[in-house]
């Protein structure tokens, strides 16, 4: 990738917590304006989040987004009409393993099904739900490492995080990059023309597979190492800075060049 010019961006994929949202879970005016400007240029803006539709839909609406919505780390995708476009559920053996780990380690657990979110305690009827993802949260580094090691050993799930103290678990092969590939295929866009912005391990897949991967200034170090460029933090309009640098300015330059070329003929 040309570090000065970058790919022609047709789609922007934005993580939410620690990326688009500030520490009060709000979208700054600067970020709102940059997103509006990108949409005016005809660029698709897609939220790609670990959240479920229930806790991210209002943000998409408030931004006036007119494209897909990637939720639950890619386990569920919604189209621009708000209808389910694709769902990837946790297989029964993976659900069993999560329940075993919960019982064994006794840490805070949560689970997101297609209809509900359970926090602190999972329901007894483990196979009576359509599970999208699970998560564990613990300040105990040793316990967290032990859980990750057991998940890796079983090798039937996708293991990431959305903060340094948690573990996020999806069906194997299901991540934000998987979902964006489906979205791009439907829109007729190459992943090479995507700019992906994030801060946590659940963003690495899309940051590495997109044509342009951007890490937030507040991103985990592992994410920064994989990114093509590092922007400002989530409390300093990092999303807006990335959009201006890699989408708005290049496309304005292209437009000016085209106008100069046509006027010279």
Contact present, 12 and 243 (Cβ < 8 Å): yes
Neighbours of 53 (CB within 10 A): 19
70: enclosing H helix or E strand: strand 69-71
Of the candidates 43, 16, 44, 41, which has an alpha carbon nearest to the alpha carbon of residue 31? 16
Angle at 38 between CA 34 and CA 41, to 5 degrees: 145
Q: What is the dihedral of CA 256, 20, 168, 125, to 10 degrees?
A: -110
Residue of 2, 15, 22, 96 marked active site = 15
Q: At how many degrees (to 10) do helices 141-154 and 92-105 cross?
A: 150
Contact present, 230 and 217 (Cβ < 8 Å): yes
Judged by DSSP in three states, 31 sits in helix
Tell me the residue length of the chain: 265
Buried b (16+ CB within 10 A) or exposed e, 143-161: ebebbeeebeeeeebbbbb
Query: Is 15 part of the annotated catalytic residue set?
Result: yes
Sequential DSSP letters for 144-196: HHHHHHHHHHHT-EEEE-SSTTEEEEEETT-SHHHHHHHHHHHHT--GGGEEE
Tokens 């670990």 correspond to what residue? 50
- Residues acting as catalytic residues: 15
């Amino acid at each position: 990738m040309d570090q000065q010019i970058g790919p022609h961006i047709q789609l922007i994929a934005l993580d939410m917590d620690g990326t688009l949202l500030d520490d009060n879970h709000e979208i700054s005016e600067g970020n709102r304006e940059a997103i509006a400007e990108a949409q005016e240029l005809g660029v698709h803006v897609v939220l790609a989040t670990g959240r479920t539709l229930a806790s991210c839909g209002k943000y998409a609406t408030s931004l006036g987004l007119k494209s897909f919505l990637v939720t639950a780390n890619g386990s569920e995708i919604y189209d621009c009409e708000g209808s389910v476009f694709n769902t990837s559920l946790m297989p029964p053996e993976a659900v069993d393993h999560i329940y075993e780990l919960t019982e064994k380690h006794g840490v805070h657990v949560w689970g997101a099904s297609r209809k509900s979110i359970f926090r602190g305690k999972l329901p007894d009827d483990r196979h009576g739900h359509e599970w999208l993802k699970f998560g564990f949260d613990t300040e105990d580094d040793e316990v967290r490492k032990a859980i990750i090691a057991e998940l890796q050993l079983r090798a039937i799930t996708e293991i990431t995080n959305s903060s340094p103290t948690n573990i996020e678990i999806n069906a194997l092969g299901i991540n934000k990059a998987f979902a964006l590939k489906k979205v791009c295929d439907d829109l007729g866009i190459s992943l090479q023309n995507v700019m992906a912005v994030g801060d946590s391990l659940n963003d690495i897949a899309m940051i590495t597979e997109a044509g342009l991967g951007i890490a937030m200034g507040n991103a985990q170090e592992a994410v920064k190492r994989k990114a093509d460029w590092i922007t400002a933090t989530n409390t300093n309009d990092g999303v807006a800075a990335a959009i201006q640098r890699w989408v708005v300015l290049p496309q304005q330059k292209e437009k000016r060049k085209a106008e100069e070329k046509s006027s010279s003929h």
